Amino acid sequence: MVTIIKSPFINSGGVTVKELKEILSRLPDTDENGELYEVWIGSGEGTSSPVTSVWALNKKQTGCDVLLEHT
């Protein structure tokens, strides 16, 4: 998989948990100053905000879908 630092990853069918884990596993936790990198979410209107909550959707005993929100 290509790192998102070089180009975005797009899956028009929906990004899977497996794909998201792989993408995130290739990114550092902190920048050169020791500052933590954050997760942001786009509004689709040209703006973005930091993710402030992570929710489980369609829960089953073995797993779930994931919702990232800015509240």
**Residues with Cβ < 8 Å from 1, sequence gap 6 or more?**
9, 19, 22, 23, 26
Whole-number pLDDT of residue 41: 95
Whole-number pLDDT of residue 55: 95
Whole-number pLDDT of residue 19: 94
In a structure prediction context, what are the per-residue pLDDT tens digits for the chain, which is 71 residues long? Answer: 668 998 999 999 999 999 999 999 999 999 999 999 999 999 889 999 999 999 999 999 999 999 999 98
Whole-number pLDDT of residue 2: 65
Whole-number pLDDT of residue 67: 95
